């Protein structure tokens, strides 16, 4: 999804919100991506109280999901 029509450029996205990733920060400040601790069919729900724009992606980093790409599902209700 291209977020430019909403005034969001690639450079304006400073941080990601990694819900199911297992990202560690080591004592020396390095970032280490480990195998997720979440299980198949785990889910999370959020309640939106204001209008928002959401960009959703599944990380393809080789350290996630045992190095395998997997489908991601979402619903807006």
Q: Residues 8-61: pLDDT tens digits? A: 887 777 677 778 888 889 999 998 888 888 888 888 998 999 998 887 777 666
Burial 34-72 (b: 16+ CB within 10 A, else e): eebeeeeeeeeeeeeeeeeeeeeeebeeeebbeeeeeee
Q: What is the pTM of this model?
A: 0.57
Q: What angle do CA 30, 35, 40 make, to 5 degrees?
A: 145
* Of 21, 40, 41, 19, the residue nearest 31 (C-alpha): 21
Q: Residue 70: is its pLDDT beyond 80?
A: no
The domain total for the chain is 1
Mean pLDDT, residues 59-69: 69
- CA dist 37 and 22 (Å) reads 7
Q: Please give the pLDDT value at position 73.
A: 81
Q: Please give the pLDDT value at position 35.
A: 82
Q: Please give the pLDDT value at position 1.
A: 60
- The domain in which residue 37 lies consists of 1-77
């Amino acid at each position: 999804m291209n977020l430019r029509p909403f005034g969001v450029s690639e450079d304006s996205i400073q941080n990601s919100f990694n819900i199911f990733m297992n990202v560690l920060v080591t004592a020396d400040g390095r970032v280490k991506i480990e195998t997720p601790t979440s299980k198949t069919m785990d889910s999370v729900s959020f309640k939106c109280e204001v209008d928002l724009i959401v960009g959703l992606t599944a990380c393809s980093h080789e350290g996630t999901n045992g190095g395998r790409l997997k489908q991601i599902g979402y619903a807006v209700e």
